[in-house]
Amino acid sequence: MDDLILATTNQGKFKEIKELLAGQFTSFHSLLDFKNGYEVVEDQPSYAENAWKKARKIGDRFNIDTLADDSGLEVDALNGRPGIYSSRYGKTDAERIDRLLAELDGVEEQNRGAVFKAYLAFYMPVEGRGYFFYGSIRGCIGRERKGRGGFGFDPVFFIPELGKSMAELTVEEKNRISHRGRALAAFSHFLKRGLQAPPNR
């Protein structure tokens, strides 16, 4: 087993990723473990390219296997916004949610559908190789916040089948169904089995 750098400064992502990959790496490091200067500018036109840029820059800098996550929320009624600009939709999670609720003010229940998407880029600097993993989950945007777990838009992202917001789930429950959890399950399978197709596909 080896060390893995998670090329993120987002504590919520770090916690979820560590939880799901526990036992598959000796230790996990996030960019918060390193003294300033390692944040990568996300200026690429897609999630995948942003994730790849983060993984490459950090992996090459430290010469350690690196996993990066680029993710976002796409709201049907907003033509897919905020999308890749999700983290820049406001300065804090609270501001981002306030803006989202304001933009959806007056939008009916049936038009509040949304999808969370997560792209993971895994880069191995010694081998000079990389792999991508993807996951998504559909839900709908509520009118007010519910729950204290998770991060980001979780308190207003409802999963109709569960009758709960993503912030009402434990980390394990969220990882079982979320966009990131699904991408991580594919990554975890890849670590154990290589590039064989997962079962039931």
Catalytic residue (choose from 65, 69, 70, 154): 70
Q: Is 23 exposed, middle or buried (0-12, 13-18, 19+ CB in 10 A)?
A: exposed
# residues contacting ligand ITT (CB under 6 A): 22
Among 86, 125, 169, 183, binds ligand ITT (CB under 6 A): 86
Based on CB atoms, which residue is closest to ligand ITT, 9 or 170? 9
Rounded Cα distance between 154 and 172, Å, is: 14
* 11: number of Cβ within 10 Å: 11
If one asks whether residue 74 binds ligand ITT (CB under 6 A), the answer comes out as no
Q: Which amino acid appears at position 168 of this protein? A: E
If one asks whether residue 66 binds ligand ITT (CB under 6 A), the answer comes out as no
Q: Are 129 and 136 in contact, with CB atoms under 8 Å apart?
A: no
Site map 99..118 versus ligand ITT, x via CB under 6 A = -----------------x--
Q: What is the DSSP letter of 3?
A: E
Q: State the DSSP H helix or E strand holding residue 175, giving kind and residue range, or none if neither.
A: helix 171-177
Annotated catalytic, 70?
yes
Site for ligand ITT in 168-187 (CB under 6 A): 178, 180
If one asks whether residue 42 binds ligand ITT (CB under 6 A), the answer comes out as yes
Rounded Cα distance between 129 and 22, Å, is: 23
- Three-state DSSP state, 24: coil
Among 38, 52, 55, 69, binds ligand ITT (CB under 6 A): 69
Based on CB atoms, which residue is closest to ligand ITT, 66 or 192? 66
Q: Are 138 and 145 in contact, with CB atoms under 8 Å apart?
A: no
Q: Which residues bind ligand ITT (CB under 6 A)?
A: 8-10, 13, 42, 69-73, 86-87, 96, 116, 150-154, 166, 178, 180
